[in-house]
Chain A
Amino acid sequence: MKSLVDRFFSKNQSSTVCLIGEVNTGKSTLANRISTDFAAQKMSETSEVPHETRTINKMEHIDFKIGKNKLDLTLVDTPGIATSVDYKEFIQHGMTEQEAYNRAKEATSGIIASINFLKQVDVALVLMDATKPPFDQVSLTILGTLEMHKTKTIICANKTDLEGANTDIIKSSFPHVSVVPISALKGHGMNELYNEIISIA
């Protein structure tokens, strides 16, 4: 009888969880952390060079189990959103002019794909760099758009392992959104994030 009740009340559904945010906030690092924890494999390349992720990466049918609750999860890692892409920035990272120009074009296409994808997700994990003030126009615009579409949203205040990280300012700036402090790199705060995902998905 107990197991029947548990089954009835436990979650077992599918959901698309999308990692979205500005450039270099740690989306791919978090995607890898989640995919490694639940599917034992990485899904994205990471790099210090901006716009490393230039296409939308999906991993489907992740068996996302937390306690008695289970989700058939599609995890989506998206290119970072920026209002501008300057090819000269890539030259500073050692690329030739042609390589930098090509990368800027790919990054531009990636951003546009992210913007279009934003409107079709079930759950959005908005990554913010907790070492920076949370008032960037890109993050505010992303959050506003998600709110307009009534998309379930969690803010991941990432990089808490770094000096100067301030998650309180993010929490107080967005009191109507669930904010989970994490370090995707070190794995801090992941259980809290997983519980939050399962509770709102």
Chain B
Amino acid sequence: MTGIEFITASRVDGLSDNNLFDFILDRVSEDNIVVLEKSLDPEQKLNLIAKGLNYIQNEDYAGIKMFHFSIKTGTERRWKSENTIQFNLIAPGNSEINQKREGHYQIKTNDSEINYSVI
């Protein structure tokens, strides 16, 4: 059964890229979905894809699926403040990720269909 784990930015702050990728891929290769509250730059994403493809050489593991999204939070008319939080959703390679509407996602895996909302 696929699980879903939300990882806050503070939990992975200070990890090197390699350690961060291992942290993510350990979970995804066990058929879990990771929602990472952290922005990855394009080169980090490519390196994660490359490492993800090579992570485990067995017949059932097929790399990763990745989906980047951001949501606006903290809008207060009084202060006119608005923050954008970046997220990366990383799922097993054989899953399907569909955005239903802003902040709402449907993730289909081998054995589960998960509706996930970050708002």
Contacts and interface: CB of A to CB of B under 8 A. Distances in A.
A143 B97 CA distance: 21
A107 to B, nearest CB: 9
Contacts of A84: 52-53, 62-65, 93-94
Chain B interface helix/strand/loop/mixed? mixed
B59 interface: yes
| Interface range on chain A (Cβ under 8 Å from partner) | 20 to 34
Nearest to A84: B93
Interface residues of B, number: 22
A140 interface: yes
Interface string B30-51: 0000000000011101110110
B59 A101 contact: yes
A115 B54 CA distance: 13
Interface string A130-158: 00000001101111110110000000000
Interface string B53-94: 110010100111111100000000000000000000000011
B42 A111 contact: no
Contacts of B49: 81, 83, 111, 115, 138, 141
Given A112-B50, A137-B66, A137-B68, A85 B93 contact: yes
B61 to A, nearest CB: 9
Contacts of A148: 41-43
B41 A112 contact: no
Interface in A110-130: 111-112, 115-116, 118
Nearest to B95: A84
B46 A145 contact: yes
B42 A83 contact: no
Given A81-B49, A84-B63, A86-B93, A144 B42 contact: yes
Nearest to A118: B46
A5 B16 CA distance: 54
B53 A86 contact: no
A78 interface: no
A141 B42 contact: yes
A83 B65 contact: yes
A118 B46 CA distance: 10
5 contacts: A82-B63, A83-B93, A84-B63, A111-B49, A144-B43
